[in-house]
Structure 1
Amino acid sequence: MEITASEAVKKEAYDSLRSIRKIQQKARKELGFLRNATIAHRDSDSPAQYRAIRDLDTNHIFGLASEFYAEAERFIRWMPKLIKETNTMSGLLGQLVAGREINKRGQ
């Protein structure tokens, strides 16, 4: 879907979403084993599960969470700008035209 907003607002949105995705990927990569061993698939090896929990670097995990929430806040601050720009007659007409063009391509 095409966003009918200024290039500056679009760029801010794309940059913010890209940063959020990078942090999500980083968290998945770094915490995937822990998730699988302790929550999702629960390792049947109890000592391994215990070691995974014991060896947690909570400062690092809180750092990842902090990064994520900082970017999420940036994205949330961006939303009113988008609403303001798209909630005009020209913005609404742009959404209508973009939607019709997408529907034509899909048929």
Structure 2
Amino acid sequence: MAQTNKFEFQVMQDGDVWNATITRRVSARRTSVSKQKKGFSSEALATEWAKETLAQFLENLQVGNKRKADKRIVRNDLAEKAKTEKEAAAVAYKAKQDAHFAALDAEEVADAEYAEDEE
């Protein structure tokens, strides 16, 4: 399997002008144009623009990916905190419920003993 870059640039001649495009590899068979500029007077100018724009494009993607990763970390931390709080609340509720049922059982036992004493 050949390894190719996800983003590349292409420079094509259209008559006496040059066009530059930045393409993204969507799948093995399909590409998509991410950015393009037409009307360069020479191939060198088109290539220079494409290289600069591709570098800037990739830098912007890396900044965006880092920002999203930071947000994901915060979001996962908050989700973990909420999960532990929910589990702690469930344990506290269960303990309170068990204590209440134990008190009811003790009350029933006391009532039964009182009823036996009166007979």
Please indicate, yes or no, whether the TM-score normalized by the shorter chain is above 0.5.
no
More helix by share: 1
TM-score by length of 1: 0.34
More strand by share: 2
Q: Which protein shows a greater Rg?
A: 2
Q: Which has the higher contact order (CA 8 A, sep 6+)?
A: 1
TM-score by length of 2: 0.31
